[in-house]
Amino acid sequence: MTDLHTPYDMIGIGFGPSNLALAIALQECAAPLNALFLEAKPEFSWHPGMLLDNSDMQVSFIKDLVTLRNPASPFSFLSYLHAKGRIERFVNRKTFFPSRHEFNDYFTWAADQMQDVCAYDQRVEAVAPVQGSSGTVELLDVVTTDASGRESRRRTKDLVLAIGGAPNIPEVFADLRRNSAVLHSSSYVTQCKPKLASAEHPLRIAVIGSGQSGAEIFWDLVNDPTQPNVDLIFRGQALKPSDDSPFVNEIFGSAFTSDIYNRPKAVREAFLTEYAHTNYAVVDGDLIDQIYGVFYEQDVTGTEPHKLWRNTQVHSALAVDDGVELTLSQRGDVSRQRYDLVILATGYTRRLDDTILSDLAPWLTADEAERSYQLPTREGFQPRLFLQGYCEATHGLSDTLLSILPRRAEEITHSLISGLTPMPKALTAAE
C-alpha cells in the first residue's frame, strides 16, 4: 500500500501509553490534524510479559492517561471504572494503586476507543526524507511491513517516536540472545510460565537483578505450583526499598520537568544519580519483607530450595545440555552453577541510535531533545521530530514513567497545532 498523495500531518510510531495519551489529547482539543499512529503489535498490549497475578501499580491511578491534563476527560481511570460498573467497589478497596491487570485493562479500554487513528501490525522498517525541488526536506516517508511481509509507505509532515525501551542484555549473555534457556523479564509470562507448566520436573532457575521486576519474578516463581528451585543473583549487598516519600515524589511532578531541564548538564547528572533509588535497582518495601520471609523460613526448616546470591558477579554464561552454566564470583569465591532457565531482570536501554530515527542522523544537530521534546535539526529540514520516553537525561526521571503522560501529551499537542488558524479549543476544556 502506498499513501503518498495526501500526507499526514503527523505519524506516531508506537501505540503504548505515551502515544495513546497523545492521541486522546489531540481528539479532546479537536485539532484539525490528520494524524495516524503505527503499532507493530497486532493489538494493544502493555508489558504483557510482566502482567503477574497479585502485582499492583506503583503509581496512583490519578496519574492515568488524562486526569492531570483534563480531570473531566471521559478517558480517565474513574470513567473506565464507571463504564465497567466497578467504581463503588473500587472505592471500597481504599487504595490509590490498582492491580497491574486492571490498569492494563484500563489502557486497553481507552485504546479500543481510538481504533480509527491507529494501524496495528505495522512494523516500521525505515523513515526516509523527501526532498522538494529546492533540496529542502519537506516530508518524511514511513515504510512499514505487516506480519505477511506486505510493505506500506505513508508520508507525513511531523513524526512522534514513542516505542519504549529495548531489553537490556548484559554483555556476558550476548552470545546467548537466541538461546531459549535465557530470557528477559519482559517475556517472563509469555515464555517462562509455559516452560514451567510443561516441565517434567521442578526447574532450577536463576533470576538476575535486584530491582522490582527481579523481585516480583522471584516471588512469583517461589509461589508457582510447579515448585521450581530459584536463585536470586545480584551485585549488591541487599535488596533496597524504593523511596516514594512525599517530598521525594515531587521530582515526578510535571512542573519539575522544566526545573531539571534548565539546570546545567553536570547538575542534571548529579541529580539523576542522587535520586536513582526512586526508580532503579529498588523494590517495594512490602515485597522485600515477603522475600526476606522466604529465606527466614528456610533457616527455620533447614531446607534450601531457593538461594540468595548477594555481592555476586556473573563472569560467564555457557550453553550446556538444554540449560545454562553460570560462573559466579561471590566475594572472591568462584563457583559454577547449572540452571534450566536464566531470567534477566536487567532493565531496558533507550538509545536514540538504536531506533528508526538513526535513518535521519545526518539531519540532526543533537541527540538530545529540546524542552518541547523536539529534536533539533539542520536548516533545510522541515519535519518536526518529537520524542516520548527518550529524554531522561534532560527532562528527569519521570520521562520513562507514567507520571507525566498527560502533561507531555499536552505540550506536544500544542507544538503540533501551533500556527493553525483558528486555534483549537483548550486542551483542558471540561465539556
pLDDT at 425: 53
pLDDT at 392: 96
> What number is the average pLDDT over the span 192-215?
96
Q: Are 328 and 314 in contact (CB under 8 A)?
A: yes
Asked, for residue 251, whether it belongs to a domain, the answer is no
From the CB of residue 111, how many other CB atoms can be counted at a distance below 10 Å? 25
Q: Is the preceding omega at residue 422 within 30 degrees of 0, hence cis?
A: yes
Q: Are residues 15 and 152 in the same domain?
A: yes
Dig out the grid coordinates for 145 from the structure: 511491513
**Which CATH number goes with the domain that contains 217?**
3.50.50.60
pLDDT in tens, 58-89: 999 999 999 999 999 999 999 999 999 999 99
pLDDT in tens, 87-98: 999 999 999 999
Asked, for residue 147, whether it belongs to a domain, the answer is yes
Q: Are residues 340 and 314 in the same domain?
A: yes
pLDDT at 2: 60
Q: Are residues 81 and 128 in the same domain?
A: yes
Asked, for residue 430, whether it belongs to a domain, the answer is no
Q: Are 341 and 267 in contact (CB under 8 A)?
A: no
Cα separation, 387 vs 105, whole angstroms:
25
Q: Are residues 99 and 211 in the same domain?
A: no
E strand or H helix at 79: helix 77-84
Asked, for residue 254, whether it belongs to a domain, the answer is no
The average confidence (pLDDT) of the chain is 94
Q: Are residues 297 and 181 in the same domain?
A: yes
Long-range contacts formed by 169-176: CB under 8 A, 24+ apart = 169/344, 169/346, 170/208, 170/314, 170/344, 170/346, 172/314, 172/315, 172/316, 172/317, 173/317, 173/342, 173/344, 175/317, 176/317, 176/319, 176/324
3-state secondary structure of 121: coil
Q: Are residues 70 and 154 in the same domain?
A: yes
**Beta strands 118-119 and 35-38: pairing type?**
parallel
Asked, for residue 262, whether it belongs to a domain, the answer is no
Q: Are residues 101 and 227 in the same domain?
A: no
Q: Are residues 175 and 305 in the same domain?
A: yes
Domain that residue 332 falls in: 167-242+280-344
Q: Are 163 and 123 in contact (CB under 8 A)?
A: no
Of the three residues 327, 344, 361, the one that is the final residue of a domain is 344
Q: Are residues 180 and 327 in the same domain?
A: yes
**Where does the pLDDT of residue 31 fall: very low under 50, low under 70, confident under 90, or very high at 90 and above?**
confident
Asked, for residue 249, whether it belongs to a domain, the answer is no
Of the three residues 344, 360, 375, the one that is the final residue of a domain is 344
**Where does the pLDDT of residue 430 fall: very low under 50, low under 70, confident under 90, or very high at 90 and above?**
very low
pLDDT at 398 over 70: yes
Q: Which is nearest to 114 in space by CA: 143, 161, 75, 81?
A: 75
Structural domain total, the chain: 2
Dig out the grid coordinates for 358 from the structure: 538513526
Dig out the grid coordinates for 364 from the structure: 540532526
pLDDT in tens, 324-354: 999 999 998 999 999 999 999 999 999 998 9
Identity of the amino acid at 74? P
DSSP-assigned states of every residue in 289-348: HHHHHHHHHHHHHT--SSEEE-SEEEEEEEEETTEEEEEEEETTEEEEEEESEEEE---E
pLDDT in tens, 150-202: 999 999 999 999 999 999 999 999 999 999 999 999 999 999 999 999 999 99
**Where does the pLDDT of residue 143 fall: very low under 50, low under 70, confident under 90, or very high at 90 and above?**
very high
Long-range contacts formed by 133-137: CB under 8 A, 24+ apart = 135/380, 136/380, 136/381, 136/382, 137/363, 137/380, 137/381, 137/382, 137/383
**Where does the pLDDT of residue 3 fall: very low under 50, low under 70, confident under 90, or very high at 90 and above?**
low
pLDDT at 386 over 70: yes
Cα separation, 219 vs 252, whole angstroms:
28
Q: Are residues 309 and 370 in the same domain?
A: no
pLDDT at 133: 82
Q: Are residues 356 and 297 in the same domain?
A: no
**Where does the pLDDT of residue 114 fall: very low under 50, low under 70, confident under 90, or very high at 90 and above?**
very high
Cα separation, 193 vs 143, whole angstroms:
35
Dig out the grid coordinates for 226 from the structure: 510447579
Asked, for residue 267, whether it belongs to a domain, the answer is no
Q: Are residues 331 and 356 in the same domain?
A: no
**Where does the pLDDT of residue 54 fall: very low under 50, low under 70, confident under 90, or very high at 90 and above?**
confident
Of the three residues 320, 344, 368, the one that is the final residue of a domain is 344
Angle of the 17-28 helix axis to the 405-417 helix axis, nearest 10: 50
pLDDT at 429 over 80: no
Q: Are 159 and 19 in contact (CB under 8 A)?
A: no
- Above pLDDT 70, what percent of the chain? 96
Q: Report DSSP state, residue 76.
A: S
Asked, for residue 113, whether it belongs to a domain, the answer is yes
- Helix/strand/coil percentages in the chain, nearest 5: 35, 25, 40
pLDDT at 420: 59
